[in-house]
Amino acid sequence: MCKGKLFIVGIGPGHHDMLTGKALKALQESDVIVGYTTYIDLLKGLIDNKEIVSTGMTKEITRVQQALDHAAKGKKVALVSSGDPGVYGMAGLAFELHSQEDDFDIEVIPGVTAATSCASLLGAPIMHDSAVISLSDRLTEKELIIKRVELAALGDFVIILYNPRSKTRKKLFDEVCDLLEKNLNGEIPVGLVWHAYRPEERKTIIKLSQLKENAPIVDMFTTILIGNSTTKVKNGRMITARGYEKKMPI
């Protein structure tokens, strides 16, 4: 029997141009592609002749186990995640479930994560120290999420929120807005990006004081970038200071 291989592939935000060369090669080399239905749809045109195993949103353990089982049978398998598979993706779970007896290699292929793809559409909002926080309390205690947001605000980090608000999880977003407003200047620019590098892409830049009133338009396809005390908006671009400006001759 041939030796299998499991690629854990980050496919980037959506558009095929945002796949890395290595990710594309792994998809081409694979016999089986395993992933959440939405991500499989994003790869249409690239994986049409492959065996596809697609599963729904909350089926992470089944999905990863299916990928491992196919690799154990000697297949080349690509387990796909949007963005980077090591950022709220499937890479950790695959290593957890990988049994010592399995005789195949696992390779993680990084991808362009939502923080940086969304940042590129807003201008240069990250630039300095930042904290990436998921507001999903499906696997993390709400109290811990709130503590992390508060400490990031106190540390003047640029804050990037993933999984900000869902149909069944609205209250935590409101609480986070209140907390940020309490600790930060309401004038701080906040960028919101929906569906980056997908046909439905949208973005806007508002002030922190306007974030809570915009809650109804925040969903699971949104990434939110909250500036730090140096972030400004110039010509429609959100820019966080790195410090060079201070060294520029006047």
Query: Site residues (CB under 6 A) for ligand SAH?
Result: 13-14, 81-84, 87-89, 113-114, 118, 162-164, 193-198, 220-223
- Residue 106: which residues within 8 A CB-CB, separation 6 or more? 5, 6, 7, 8, 71, 94, 95, 98
| Residue number closest to ligand SAH, CB atom | 83
Backbone phi and psi for residue 175, each to the nearest 5 degrees, phi listed first: -65, -40
Contact 115, 229 (CB under 8 A): no
DSSP secondary structure string, 60-71? Answer: HHHHHHHHHHHH
Closest distance to ligand SAH from the beta carbon of 86 (Å): 8
Please tell me the distance from the alpha carbon of residue 167 to that of residue 173, in angstroms, as a whole number.
11
Closest distance to ligand SAH from the beta carbon of 73 (Å): 27
Nearer to ligand SAH, 72 or 193 (CB): 193
Nearer to ligand SAH, 77 or 118 (CB): 118
Closest distance to ligand SAH from the beta carbon of 128 (Å): 20
Closest distance to ligand SAH from the beta carbon of 243 (Å): 27
Nearer to ligand SAH, 16 or 195 (CB): 195
Closest distance to ligand SAH from the beta carbon of 3 (Å): 28
Nearer to ligand SAH, 4 or 10 (CB): 10
Nearer to ligand SAH, 16 or 241 (CB): 16
The Cα-based distances of 16 to 23, 33, 58, 121, 197 in angstroms read 10, 16, 25, 17, 9
The Cα-based distances of 11 to 22, 47, 56, 78, 113 in angstroms read 10, 12, 18, 11, 9
Backbone phi and psi for residue 172, each to the nearest 5 degrees, phi listed first: -65, -35
